Structures are given as structure tokens and as C-alpha cells.
């Protein structure tokens, strides 16, 4: 009878230990999920901000080339030619 009590106590002790570990891992998992969601939101926000800054940069670059600085004369001509081609394509599509 003593052996059965020892085995039962040992089993209860191991079960308590497993429940404690389970509870800890559950809490840690919840914390990590919250952190993951937070980091994903931050990444999305940063990506959107980067996109906006890139668009701003492109607009500033275009403004500078249109302004006609000596360095960007070639870029200005290429952009104007591209715009003219786009307008011609639109005119052709409208006339069809």
C-alpha cells in the first residue's frame, strides 16, 4: 500500500509540474502573440511611411528636373518625352 501512495504522490507531483509548465508556456505564447501583432502593425506602419517618403522623393526629383537644373537636363527631356508618348497613346485610344 505504501508503494501505491508513493507512486500516486510522485504522479501528482509530476502532474503539478506539468500544469505549471503548461501555464507558463500558455502565458508566454500569449505574450509572444501580442508582441508579434504589435511588431506586424509597426512594420505595416513603417512600410506605409517608407512608401510615402519614396513618393515624396520621386515628386521632388521630378520637380527638380522640371525646374531645369543643369545636372538633370537629360532626365527632364526624358520625362517630357515619356509624358508626350503617354499623351499620344491616350489620343490614339480616344480616336479609335
User: Which residues are CB-contacts of 96 (< 8 A; sequence separation ≥ 6)?
Assistant: none
Over range 67-88, report the average pLDDT.
77
Q: First-to-last CA distance in the chain?
A: 99
Task: Please determine, for residue 35, whether its predicted confidence score (pLDDT) is greater than 80.
Answer: yes
User: Which residues are CB-contacts of 76 (< 8 A; sequence separation ≥ 6)?
Assistant: 65, 66, 68
Angle between helices 2-67 and 73-95 (to 10 degrees): 90
Confidence of residue 72 (pLDDT cuts 50, 70, 90): low
Task: Please determine, for residue 31, whether its predicted confidence score (pLDDT) is greater than 70.
Answer: yes
Task: Please determine, for residue 65, whether its predicted confidence score (pLDDT) is greater than 80.
Answer: no
Q: Report, in angstroms and rounded to the nearest whole number, the Rg of the chain calculated over CA atoms.
A: 33
Q: How much is the mean pLDDT over the chain?
A: 88
- Greater pLDDT, 64 or 27: 27
Amino acid at each position: 500500500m505504501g508503494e501505491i501512495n508513493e507512486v500516486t504522490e510522485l504522479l501528482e507531483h509530476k502532474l503539478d509540474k506539468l500544469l505549471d509548465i503548461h501555464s507558463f508556456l500558455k502565458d508566454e505564447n500569449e505574450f509572444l502573440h501580442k508582441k508579434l501583432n504589435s511588431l506586424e502593425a509597426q512594420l505595416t506602419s513603417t512600410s506605409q511611411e517608407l512608401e510615402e517618403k519614396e513618393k515624396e522623393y520621386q515628386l521632388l526629383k521630378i520637380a527638380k528636373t522640371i525646374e531645369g537644373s543643369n545636372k538633370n537636363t537629360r532626365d527632364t527631356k526624358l520625362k517630357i518625352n515619356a509624358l508626350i508618348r503617354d499623351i499620344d497613346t491616350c489620343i490614339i485610344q480616344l480616336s479609335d
